[in-house]
Amino acid sequence: MITIIAAVLLLLTVTLGMGGGLYEILVIYPGWEHNVDPLTLRAKLQSSGQILAAKRFWPIASPAQVLLSVINIPLAWNHTGGAHVYLLAGAVAVFINRVITFSYFIPVMIRKIMQPETIEAARLQGIVKKWTALSPLRLVFELFAWIMLVVALMHI
């Protein structure tokens, strides 16, 4: 029963994260990723909602995913039955995605993109272009994890 509850909670946080990620990619990024200028980027981040998301949404959603993936990995490892591989694959995919997010995306956002005045315009343009190009790839991990968790719950 604990495995089911943990898997459902992980699935819910992955669903929430995918929704937030899709919203950012489709609605938020277009407001500030083009024509990056160190003097106006902070205002673009503010007006697009990126700063609020970085302070209010992701600090809750991201750590919840980490915690639930860490809980689900040993539960999945010890689970017997048809859901074992799917649970483990989903939990590991979430964990890997969070490691990537915490090691690259969050530090670059906080240290560079949210402090544009400290970086020359050409370098900042490259940083933002790379960040916004790589960020959607995280959804691949989340979609994979979501599918694995749904299949796992169908097999439990």
Q: Which domain holds residue 123?
A: 2-155
Note the pLDDT of residue 55: 87
Q: Mean pLDDT across the chain, nearest whole number?
A: 93
pTM: 0.93
Q: What is the pLDDT of residue 31?
A: 84
Query: Domains in the chain: how many in total?
Result: 1
Instruction: Give the model's pLDDT for residue 111.
Output: 93
- Best CA proximity match to 104, nearest among 146, 66, 71, 132: 132
Check whether 54 has a pLDDT greater than 90. no
Give the Å distances, CA to CA, from 44 to 36, 72, 79, 107: 9, 38, 47, 19
* Predicted confidence (pLDDT) per residue in 6-53, tens digit: 999 999 999 999 999 999 999 988 888 887 888 888 888 888 888 888
Give the HSE-up count for residue 55: Cα atoms under 13 Å, Cβ half-sphere: 7
- Stretch 130-145: mean pLDDT: 96
66-86 pLDDT, tens digit each: 999 999 999 999 999 899 999
The reported pLDDT for the residue numbered 49 is 84
DSSP code for 39 = T
Q: Are 62 and 98 in contact (CB under 8 A)?
A: yes
**For residue 130, pLDDT beyond 90:** yes
